Amino acid sequence: MKHVLDGKMGVQMRGLVKIGLIIILAMVVFGAGLLFYFKQGADISLLQNHLQQPTEIYDLDGNLASTITGNKSEGVAIEEIPDHMKQAVVSIEDHRFYEHHGIDYQGILRALVKNAKAGSIVEGGSTLTQQLVKITMLESERTLKRKVEEFFLAQEVEAEYTKDEILEMYLNQVYFGHGAWGIKKAANIYFSKEVSELTVAEGALLAGVINLPSKLDPYKNLDGAMKRRDLVLSRMAEHGYLTDDEEAAAKKDEVTLLQGEQMTDPLKGKYPYFVDHVLSEASSKYGIELEELLTKGYKIYTTLDQSMQQATETVYANDANFPVGTSTDQLVQSGAILLDPKTGGIKALVGGRGKHQFMGYNRATQLTRSPGSAIKPLVVYTPAVEEGYEITTPLKDEKMSFGEYEPTNLSGIYKGEVPMYEAVMNSLNVPTVWLLNEIGIDKGLDSLKRFGIPYKKDDRNLTIALGGMDKGVSPLQMAGAFSTFANDGKRLESHAIIKIENIEGKEVGAWEEKATNVTSKGVVDKMNTMLLGTVEYGTAKNAAVSGYEVAGKTGSTQVPIEGISGVKDQWFIGYTPSLVGAVWAGYDKTDEKHYLTTHSSEGSAIIFQKIMSQALRNQASQSFNTQDIGPLIAEQQALIAEQQAKKEEVQRKQYWIDKGNQIREGLNKWKDWEVPW
């Protein structure tokens, strides 16, 4: 019986072995096939091309307008890099670099053992060659497919290039933190030096940053960077690159950080603020990381109009075009944007005055300030016209309060009643607040939403009629909103990018039109009539451009400091049938020593006029084909003159009546007078 059982178990065991062998064979065949597939696809021909080709920005006509790069084109040759710098990187990142052929199997095994003992990932097994492949030729997501591609590409790179060539490409591509792509920029940004001038201690610090460039940024975490530097120096001594005395001396060296000139704008190119916005849009809308945009040779086709961009930059280069503030220790800042109302395409933008900082604060797109009276057409007058109010409808213009809120007219003059177009034209505050109260705040906020202007829950009160907002808006948002008036009531979402192609010419992103029907053409025609009047007859006369119909609205906000009468923000948003422009001016930080002393009619409106005068030179004049309020103003003035004449006639008659009564009273006194003798 026992032998029978043993026989059966033996048969079963042989069966299991056979099955196991079949499974193993299948896995081997599958693995071989998988490896063959990836081996066939291991193409490094793009590596050298990528290193030589920057990302390119094209204008609306498909012409190359600007380039941006963080790769070898701004790097240094391997001969110019000190031996100690190369040794530092090899020691800390891949000490068997000169022994392996792209894949360090010993390093992988060593890392597996260390990580197993630690219970977490404390060491990686990637070689410098693998890192080069990853940062130059592969997508950033961590997948099995990417790791297998990396495995074969690294070996192909080793077969094609020498160790010095690989190290040169690596050092000119790797990120050293703080906006420094490549060793040349790192030496400049951290030490204001050429690469050849780096000391052993400085080179070791830079080599140490590579592993965690954001966490070990010396400007943000000097202690962490120094500890890592000392580890690098120890590794250099361990692998024979430094003697014990040299190691000790280098560890005693103090580090003095000194930013070089490139820190303010590490990636030089034309139209820097426009390029900044393109990079931001590519990242936020199309999910492409900044690192990839700066290193992987994309072609980005945009809505840029180079002549308009140049016109805007020319105006911003002349300090005389800008309002003067109360202090000269800081620049009065400004941001401007030009938009095509028919497409939503950004034609030009400048995000500030003075020296540009790469990917810094862009006041044309990132600013959030109260728009002041510039918001009136969006939140009050458009919904009022939609509710049936006519441009000649009389509005109350007298001192009044709405609960605890008591708005006032800037001029201090109140006429009792004014037609709507006059309230818009002269930017009268009290009639505007009164009108929003009449139509209801909810209608105003609904209109604001359709115009694409964001607001907070706390903004639901009458102060929003005059631009009172918790957060505020940007010139880009205001230009987008006003584009509705130049496009028959339809608003197209603003954008700068038309399409993006990768280095292989494959389209990886494209703009899809997004339109909002804000209001009707009939309402727009009435709004255009009033806003044309604002430029021709009202507060925005300084924004007029000779030979062109320009409509628009001024806006100013007051300094929110008790005892100071000054201006915090100046706005002007204006448009023709073919172009919309928005301009903001003010201090980045307003306080008791930094504010403006003029209103938007004397500042932002003038900036707008200078920009548009040049930007429109190549465009034919177009008409809004709407009513001119000139005759209405003349009629109103004639009526006022007639009423004044009648008033004066009544006053004159009353004067003579009073005089006659006085004379009669005098005569009566003489008539009754008795002679004393």
Hey, which residues are catalytic here? 93, 373
| Amino acid sitting at position 328 | T
From CA 403, how far away is CA 422, in angstroms rounded? 26
Q: Which residue has the tokens 């933190």?
A: 177
Q: What is the CA radius of gyration of the chain?
A: 36
The set of residues, in sequence order, having a beta carbon less than 8 Å from that of 49 and lying 6+ positions away, is 297, 503
Distance CA 293, CA 505 (A): 15
| C-alpha–C-alpha distance, residues 94 and 31, integer Å | 28
- For residue 132 the two structure tokens come to 């080069």
Cα–Cα–Cα angle for 448, 452, 458, nearest 5°? Answer: 50
- Token reading at 347: 């034609």
**Contact call for residues 423 and 415 (beta carbons, < 8 A):** no
Picking from 404, 373, 284, the residue whose alpha carbon sits closest to that of residue 572 is: 373
Query: Residues 427, 531: contact at Cβ < 8 Å?
Result: no
What DSSP designation does 355 have? Answer: S
Helix ranges (DSSP H) in 193-295: 200-209, 222-238, 244-252, 272-286, 290-295
Angle at which helix 128-137 crosses helix 45-52, to 10 degrees, equals: 70
Q: Three-class SS of residue 299?
A: strand
- What is the DSSP secondary structure assignment for residue 627, as one 8-state letter? -
Question: 512-516 — which CB contacts under 8 Å span 24+ positions?
Answer: 513/343, 513/344, 515/490, 515/491, 516/450, 516/452, 516/490, 516/491, 516/492
Dist CA 527 CA 531 (whole Å):
6
- Residues 163 and 99: their CA atoms lie apart, in Å, by 10
Residue 67: phi and psi, rounded to 5, are -130, 150
Residue 161: DSSP 8-state: S
Mention every residue, 6+ apart, whose C-beta is less than 8 A from residue 237: 243, 244, 246, 247
Instruction: Classify residue 65 by its DSSP letter.
Output: E
C-alpha span between 320 and 357 (Å, rounded): 22
